[in-house]
A = this chain, B = another copy of it.
Amino acid sequence: MAQNKVLLKDIANSLGVSTTLVSIVLNGKAKQYRIGEEIAQKVIDAAMTMNYSPNLIARNLRGGKTQLIGLIVTDISNPFYSAIARIVENRANELGYTVVFSSSDEELKNTKKLIEILLSKGVDGLIIVPCDGSEEIIRELHENNTPTVLIDRNFPNSDISFSCLNNYRATELATQHLIEEGFENIALIGYKTRMNHILDRIKGYEDSMKKAGFEKYIHVKKVNILNPQAEVHSALDTLIKKKNADAVIFLTNMLTVAGLYSLNEMNIKIPNDIAVVGFNRNDLFNLFYSPITFIKQPLEIIATQAVNTLIEKIKNSELEIKSMVFSEPQLIIGASSKKV
């Protein structure tokens, strides 16, 4: 790399000392090795004036660490994941790490390939939003002692650390709120998937409906996670026209946006014709003609926690660190879920 031409050797030569000495001083181990104060200071000054910056590649070769962590999300251009990415970046930087990101598009084969690529680039560990079917390959990672933390989604009955939302509680909050507002025929739109985060959200809804005695109104529509627009549209059409739903909960940010497009198109008014609860904050929700009630995830906590756990694992590879954190959701109430 064209830059950073100043080497340890250069500053050693200029001072007439060994590179060992310089390396020790610059790594802050002068005291430990009882290096003379004056000479230590001279080294530090020289490094400053010569604008020395160490070649991390070389340093890593020797120690086996790159201070690089890999982040695999499903799509970095999804605002939910880019918000997470930003927090991961900030926290990683604070701890001296740099982030390599990549998008799996919810595909197992992409996830597999990205893991391989990131490992060959020498990342010290991985933060992964796992896609459907990825449990096996992620377990292998874990068994190979590659520090790994799941984010946003988790595998139940697994030893892999994760940081995600208390998903059951999220829909419980939403459903109970709608019931309190006087809605009864409350429907739900989620994804077709075996992933736990969605299943938990569905369960939180179903249990709340049952508890209120609304079993008969339980309607769960599952759409394809890739390109949901068309299926969301027909699901809404059925729910409104056939099932007489008076409220609908969307299980993700993308589903909520897709739903709002459809409702606008169908000329269905919120909350007069149907009440809406969405997932994850979005400027759109606040500025919509009927501000959308939504489940807010504590992203800052979720993402920071994931990074903290990962780096703890990286630094203490001999320890079996197992951190499973569910963070609490919050319901932000707007006009979209108010009875009129």
- List CB contacts (< 8 Å) of A36-90 with chain B: 53-58, 60-61, 64-68, 75-79, 82-83, 85-86, 89-90
How far does the Cβ of A98 sit from chain B's closest Cβ, in whole Å? Answer: 6
With beta carbons under 8 angstroms apart, the residue of B64, B83, B284 that contacts A287 is B284
- Main DSSP-derived SS at the A contact region: mixed
Tell me if A102 counts as interface (CB < 8 A to partner B): yes
B76/A89 in contact, CB under 8 A: yes
Given A2-B146, A58-B61, A116-B53, do A98 and B77 touch, yes or no (CB 8 Å)? Answer: no
Q: How far is B97's CA from A102's CA once the two chains are assembled, in angstroms? A: 11
A66 nearest CB across to chain B (Å)? 7
Which B residues lie within 8 Å of A75 (CB)?
Answer: 86
Q: Which residues of B contact A55 (CB under 8 A)?
A: 61, 120, 122
* Closest chain B residue to A88, Cβ basis: B76
CA distance A146 to B1 in the complex (A): 7
Chain B residues whose C-beta falls within 8 Å of the C-beta of A27 in the assembled complex: none
A32 at the interface (CB under 8 A from B): no
Q: What distance in Å separates the Cβ of A30 from its nearest Cβ neighbour in chain B?
A: 21
Asked whether any CB of chain B lies closer than 8 Å to the CB of A121, the reply is yes
Interface membership of chain A positions 276-301, coded 1 if the CB is closer than 8 angstroms to chain B and 0 otherwise: 00000011101111000000000000
Contact partner, A4, options B85, B101, B120, B264, Cβ 8 Å? B120
- Is B66 a contact of A77 with CB atoms below 8 Å? no
Assess whether A100 is in contact with B103, with CB atoms less than 8 Å apart. no
| List of B residues within 8 angstroms of A289 by Cβ | 289
List residues of chain B with CB within 8 A of the CB of A61. 55, 57-58, 61
The answer to whether B98 touches A121 (Cβ under 8 A) is: yes
* Measured CA separation A11–B226 after assembly (Å): 40
Query: Any chain B CB within 8 A of the CB of A240?
Result: no
Contact between chains at A287 and B286 (CB < 8 Å): no
CB neighbours (8 Å) of A288 from chain B are 287-288
Residues of B within 8 A of A90 (CB): 103
Is there an interface contact between A283 and B284, defined as CB atoms closer than 8 Å? Answer: yes
Q: List 24 A-B pairs, Cβ < 8 Å.
A: A1-B64, A1-B65, A1-B146, A2-B145, A2-B317, A3-B146, A4-B120, A55-B120, A56-B120, A57-B121, A57-B122, A67-B121, A68-B100, A76-B76, A76-B85, A77-B79, A77-B86, A90-B103, A98-B100, A98-B121, A99-B100, A257-B283, A257-B287, A282-B284
Known: A68-B100, A261-B283. 11 other contacts (CB 8 A): A3-B141, A55-B122, A57-B61, A66-B121, A76-B85, A82-B85, A89-B101, A90-B103, A98-B121, A282-B284, A287-B288
Give 4 nearest A-B pairs by CB, closest first: A82-B82, A77-B86, A2-B145, A2-B144
